Homo-oligomer: A and B are copies of this chain.
Amino acid sequence: MVFRHDQIVTATAANQIAEAIQQEIASGRLKVDDRLPTEEELATQFRVSRPTVREALKRLAARHLIRSRRGPAGGTFVNGPSPEEMAQSFSTAATLMVAAGGITLDQMATVRAEMEAICCRLAAEQRSAEHLAGMRAEIALQLSEPLLDEEFCASDVRFHRLIVDAAGNPLLRFLMNAIVEGLLPVSNMIIFRVRDRKTIVDHHIRIADAIEARDADRAVAALNDLVRYVRDQYAAAEKGRLEYASKITSTKGE
């Protein structure tokens, strides 16, 4: 059974109103923080009922183009483009694609590793003293003795984020943020299984040293070693998990 995908968005009244308002925004007639007419006024203007207007507004609100507040000074206002919201909606879209089976976790991990290598290379060229200091601080934190698994994991995430920031490219930062968000549930499981943190921190130190020396190739090599190590650990853990699962299914002892 083939589903007809050629006309996804039907030309209903609500959709047409949404389109019209969006064009007003895109054309610049409605500027950022402008207030558009009340729902009643829009309803009379477009010759439709208020619920229909509301459906149209909800469509735009879902894309963060407008916001609304109640009250006398309230109403519906035009939103400016906000990178955080964009990154968030993008990462939710990425997780949805993973959930729907369009992307495997392995493919996602590959892209993440390759893109982080880019960040590493750019970071070695563009890094500032502040970024380097931040990385050193995270390494020191990771070496401190009484440290919970969650704290170590959070510091690890911050360390990798610092690499991305040091590259100094907002678009790269944006893409990495989305991908890492999509990988979070998995990466947590990975990190939690790796008991031997020392190896990971050693890799972090190698990366930070190479970035400090502005040696892009060495930084990328160190990162690749880290990725390989984590991947091996994950595969081993997965194998152990499967063996454990088969064991408890064969003998169901408490």
Contact = CB atoms under 8 A, between A and B. Distances in A.
B62 A103 contact: no
A225 to B, nearest CB: 18
Contacts of A174: 97
A85 to B, nearest CB: 7
B114 A118 contact: yes
Contacts of A60: 62
A128 interface: no
Contacts of A122: 110, 114
Interface stretch (A22-30, A130-138, A139-147, A195-203): A22-30
Nearest to A99: B26
Contacts of A51: 51, 54
Contact of A55 (B33, B58, B170): B58
Given A33-B3, A171-B111, A80 B100 contact: yes
Interface string A50-86: 0100110011111111010000000000011111011
Contacts of A67: 8
Nearest to A101: B32
A90 interface: yes
A155 interface: no
A59 B92 CA distance: 14
- Assembly of this chain: how many copies? 2
A6 to B, nearest CB: 11
A95 B62 contact: no
B118 A102 contact: no
A107 B51 CA distance: 41
Interface string A121-132: 110000000000
The CB with the most chain B CB atoms within 10 A, among A62, A89, A121, is that of: A62
A103 B28 contact: no
Contacts of A48: none
Given A55-B55, A86-B97, A107-B169, 4 more contacts: A8-B67, A32-B101, A103-B171, A114-B121
Interface of A: 3, 5, 8, 14, 18, 22, 25-28, 31-33, 51, 54-55, 58-65, 67, 79-83, 85-86, 89-90, 92-97, 99-103, 107-108, 110-111, 114-115, 118, 121-122, 169-172, 174-175, 179
